[in-house]
Amino acid sequence: MNEKLTTIRLSSDTDKELERLARARGTDKSKLIRDLILLGIKEKKLQEALYLYSKGKISMWKGARMAGLSLWQMMEVIAERKIPMPYGIKELEEDLKGLK
């Protein structure tokens, strides 16, 4: 893996919480921070995909690809978060193309 060093400023409270969480997981703070950043990126991608989908700007299939999910997983997330499905013929055709 190609790695790059990045520095950030954190409040003392945040740093203490990271130390506490790292100890509880039996890992070091750097590993915990990397894991949290990856989780945050994944969630941000999902939020962006859900926002664009809810505004009718992308299909469910494109949203799933954008979020790194299968179409079925995306459907589950949309249902869990009670996001209205603006679904018409155009969206159906696009989703069917994506399944091929």
**pLDDT-derived band at 87, boundaries 50, 70, 90:** low
Sequence-distant (≥ 6) Cβ neighbours of residue 17 within 8 angstroms: none
Q: What percent of the chain has pLDDT over 90?
A: 70
Across the chain, mean pLDDT equals 90
Of the chain, the percentage scoring pLDDT greater than 70 comes to: 94
- Quick check: 70 and 64 in contact, CB under 8 A? yes
Q: What is the pLDDT of residue 3?
A: 87
40-82 pLDDT per residue, tens:
999 999 999 999 999 989 988 899 999 999 999 999 999 999 9
d(CA 59, CA 94): 7
Residue 30 and residue 41: Cα distance in Å, rounded?
A: 17
Task: Sort residue 68 into left (φ over 0), alpha (ψ -120 to 50) or beta.
Answer: left
